[in-house]
Every structure is written in C-alpha cells, then in structure tokens.
Amino acid sequence: MSATLRRLGARLRLARDFVLAQLVFGLLALLKRLPARRALDFADWLARTVGPLTPRHRVAVDNLRHAYPGMSAAEIQRIARANWGQMGRVAAEYVFLDQIFDYVPYRPEGEGNIDVDGIALFEDLRARQGPFIFFTAHIGCFELLPVCAAAFDLEVTALFRQPNNPFIARRVLDARRTDGGHLVPSKAGAARNLAARLEEGRAVGMLVDQKFRKGEPTLFFGRPCRTNPLVPKLARQYGAEVYPVRCIRLPNGRYRLELEPRLDLPRTVDGDIDITASAQVLNDIVERWVRETPEQWMWFHRRWQV
C-alpha cells in the first residue's frame, strides 16, 4: 500500500472516530438533562436494545457458552442482554459520577447510593505508609474505587486502558479525574509511572481481567488465557501489599464497594513472589466475583485469545 493510501486511510478512520464521538457526546448531553436515575435506566434499556444487534453480542454468547457449558440458551441470552445494560450504565455514569457518589463515612448502611465493606481496612491503610496495590475487574461500577478511596483521604493512582477512539479517550480521561488520585493511561511508560508512586509509598490501582498478549499463561473459567503480570511484578519489586476490591451494583440503583483483606501471593522456594502462580490467583479471584454476579462482567471482550 502506498504512503498516500495509508494517509488517506488514517484520515478516514479519524473522521469516522470524530463522527462517532460526536454522536456519543450528543447522547450523553441529552442524558444529562434527565434525573440521574432515569438517565441510567434509559442507557440500560438502549444498550440492551442495540448491543445484541452488534457482532460483539456473538462474542459474549460464545464466551458464556464456554464458561457455563450446562447453561440453557435462554439463560445465556438473558445474561448477555443484561450485561449490555450494565455497560450502558457504565457509559452514562461518567456524566453522573458526582451525583452517584454521595458516600459519607460512618453513615448507617443503606442510606445514600453507596455502601462500603472494608471501612476498617481503608482507615488502616490511610493511617500507615504504603506501598499498596489495589486490583479490580470490569465488574459493576469499577470507576468508583479511586473516588471512594478519596473519601477516606487515600490517594490512588489508577491505571486504565483508553478507548480506541481518541476523541472519546480524551473526554473519558477528563471525566475520570478526581481530587483524590490520578489516572495513568495504559501505554508506554505507564508501568514506570506506577512504580514511581509505589516507590514513594503511595497506592495504585489497576484492572487485571483484560487480554494481554504477552502475559503469563493462566486459566480463567478453565480456559487458557494470558494475564498481565504487572501486579505481582510490582509487588515483588517494591514489597507492596496487594488488596482485591470491587464495586457491584445493588437493586434500586445502589452500589456496594468491597475492599477485601490483604492477599498473600504465592512464593517460590527462594521466597520471591511467584509471578505465574500469582497471576493465576488474580484470575481465580476475578472468576469468583464473576460467578457471583455474571450479569455485571464484560463478557463481550475477547479475554481468552492467546
């Protein structure tokens, strides 16, 4: 292909991305005119309606069939459609994060939109020096970890994968900034940025359930996949404590953020953290979470490509 054709192709892709981004921004602007609960319900309905018409729906159904071989076709379709609704909510929640997150420490459970399990752990981490690593997955409202940590005066630098669309990526980055932490796009230099934070005794957070072509060979729902080794590598290099955390959706538009106890990663005979075995432990925890709330995990990505 000539250089001229490559440049033309790049410009066409950029124009396509621009048009798509404007459509998304327009829809979000319309949603913002609605009360938060109604807007999120509408985004849920729209995604359930449109998502199953896309090629990604077939990916979700195929993943569910492999993960749950005994599950009926009707139940698989129900979970896949419900998952699209969850993803619609994730997109709309960018607009309403300030309204959604009304958590006040020590308020009785059930009041407001947010419940937190692990308050004592948050307070303990705030009171002493790190480094700390939080890991989570694409379950529920996974954006709330750094926001919630900030409520406990705990700063978390979060690693995230940017959307492929550059215009949406810039808007997402702006929407996800909080007073209590920083965001690091997942690209060249990101690991060094996280390492610098850990070296300062701070806290970082990252998602661990994405496809990673050069990752450690592991199993997820009994199927081979590769898992990003960054969490155990950083924990080994900086002596960081590792904590699982997730935020799941509850009925009536509410959320529960769960901070689990410190994870003891497997070690080699020499006493070092075993990278491959630790990557498998992370997968096992994420699989437990997914099995508890299968509708809330992102089934339509190609996690098992190796």
Q: How many whole angstroms separate alpha carbon 242 and alpha carbon 289?
A: 17
Residue 117 has what DSSP assignment?
E
Q: Quote the percentage of the chain above a pLDDT of 90.
A: 46
Residue 205 has what DSSP assignment?
E
- Cβ pair 177, 170 in contact under 8 A: no
Q: Is pLDDT at 51 greater than 90 in this prediction?
A: yes
pLDDT (average), residues 117-127: 89
Strand partners, 183: 158
- Cβ pair 172, 90 in contact under 8 A: no
pLDDT in tens, 231-290: 999 999 999 999 999 999 998 888 999 999 999 999 999 999 999 999 999 999 999 999
Contacts 24+ apart (CB under 8 A), 181-187: 181/146, 181/149, 181/150, 181/155, 181/156, 181/157, 181/205, 182/155, 182/157, 182/158, 183/146, 183/157, 183/158, 184/157, 184/158, 184/159, 184/160, 185/160, 185/161, 186/159, 186/160, 186/161, 186/162, 187/162
pLDDT in tens, 129-148: 889 999 999 999 887 777 77
- Cβ pair 120, 133 in contact under 8 A: no
Residue whose pair of structure tokens reads 């406990």 in the numeric block: 152
pLDDT in tens, 54-100: 999 999 999 999 999 999 999 999 999 999 999 899 888 877 777 77
pLDDT (average), residues 214-232: 94
pLDDT in tens, 103-118: 777 777 767 888 889 8
pLDDT in tens, 5-34: 666 666 677 677 677 767 777 777 777 787
pLDDT (average), residues 174-186: 56
pLDDT at 179: 45
Strands 156-160 and 181-185: parallel
What the chain holds in terms of domains, given with CATH numbers, is: 110-296 (3.40.1130.10)
